[in-house]
Amino acid sequence: MKNLIRNTALATTMLLGIGAAHAEWPSDRPIEMIVAFAPGGGTDVMNRTLAPYIEKELGGKITILNRPGASGEIAYTALTQAKPDGYTLSSLNTPGYLTMQMDRKVRFDPKKLCLVARIVEDPGSFIVQANSPYNSLKDLVAFAKANPGKVTVGTTGLGTDEHLALLQLEKAAGVDLTPVTFNGANEARTALLGGHVTAIGINVGEFQSGDRSAFKSLGQFADQRSVIAQDLPTAKEQGFDVIMSSERGIAMGCDVPEAIRTKYSDAVKKALDNPEFQEKAKQQSLPLSYRSSEDWNKELPARAERLGEVWKLVKEQK
């Protein structure tokens, strides 16, 4: 709809020779990469940092377009409405992408959205002040058991990954924690520094990219220790069945020919292997964890199912 003339031109090319049109992708015009979050945020910075390295692999140009809003729903809707010609991509983050489908009727058809590549998996964690008496999740749980409701944990809202991790911990350890909502991790961090809450939930990568001198981490909610936090024990190792991580990746419309999707996925893989990019990723504490479109598509239903279980806990709270 949006680019009437452009599309007519494209349709003509398609009519003239479908094979030819594919072969040209993506050199004849820029690829539009929709970022579902505002400029300067983690997802935006990651995609802007990565884009030049993907360009190098593909030989095409990538322009970044920010369409923030409704935790990504606006961007996903825009993506499903775009022409399936391989020139429009979108960032895709879990668990937001999955939980929004549990909570309400979304404005896009998830079946039309195909995963192209996962770039990052960032496990959740709980952090406390550096001088706090708690050194592990066990310590925190022990105190919470003796003082129900006294432990306050900062999250960024109901149903966010920190909140889901909190619910899992409550259930796994049989304790009662009090979630306190903040608008974003930075506000929560400020409150923790000022001693207004006991602990806050924050992703490991997000935590490590900031100044850590005033905080310590109690444990990560990953299946296995993250590449960027090899020394931090997981919740599982400490005896609590809590698994919660957020993933950042890229999606395309499912109507885009599979050859193009795979080609893009491979280009992302090569870009991630570029030592120059890896140096940048290290500076930004990006927990890189590539999955090809095939692998990620295979893994996602399991993740969705697990989230669904946790989501029931949210419903109980309401």
Contacts with another protein, residue ranges (CB under 8 A): 1-6, 9, 38-42, 44-45, 48-49, 65-71, 73-74, 77, 103, 107, 149, 152, 156-159, 178-184, 186-187, 189-191, 193-197, 209-214, 280, 283-284, 314, 318
Closest CA to 176 of 204, 201, 140, 205: 140
* Least distance in angstroms from the C-beta of 288 to another protein: 16
**Closer CB to another protein, 55 or 295, in the complex:** 55
* Least distance in angstroms from the C-beta of 103 to another protein: 7
d(CA 122, CA 96): 13
Closest CA to 300 of 255, 262, 249, 264: 249
* Least distance in angstroms from the C-beta of 70 to another protein: 4
Phi, psi of 37 (to 5 degrees): -130, 165
d(CA 253, CA 64): 17
**Closer CB to another protein, 136 or 178, in the complex:** 178
**Closer CB to another protein, 68 or 233, in the complex:** 68
* Least distance in angstroms from the C-beta of 224 to another protein: 26
Q: Given the structure tokens 């931090």, which residue do they identify?
A: 232
* Least distance in angstroms from the C-beta of 228 to another protein: 14
d(CA 258, CA 244): 30
**Closer CB to another protein, 236 or 280, in the complex:** 280
Structure tokens at 111: 């079946």
* Least distance in angstroms from the C-beta of 205 to another protein: 11
Residues forming beta bridges with residue 215, ordered by sequence position: 129
**Closer CB to another protein, 17 or 184, in the complex:** 184
Q: Which residues contact 44 (CB under 8 A, 6 or more apart)?
A: 35, 37, 38, 64, 66
**Closer CB to another protein, 6 or 298, in the complex:** 6
Q: Residue 55 carries which DSSP code?
A: H
Do 95 and 163 contact (CB within 8 A), yes or no? no
* Least distance in angstroms from the C-beta of 275 to another protein: 16
* Least distance in angstroms from the C-beta of 280 to another protein: 8
**Closer CB to another protein, 81 or 136, in the complex:** 81
- Pairing type for strands 152-155 and 199-203 reads parallel
Residues forming beta bridges with residue 25, ordered by sequence position: none
DSSP string across 247-309:
EEEEEEETTS-HHHHHHHHHHHHHHHH-HHHHHHHHHTT--EEEEEHHHHHHHHHHHHHHHHH
**Closer CB to another protein, 32 or 266, in the complex:** 32
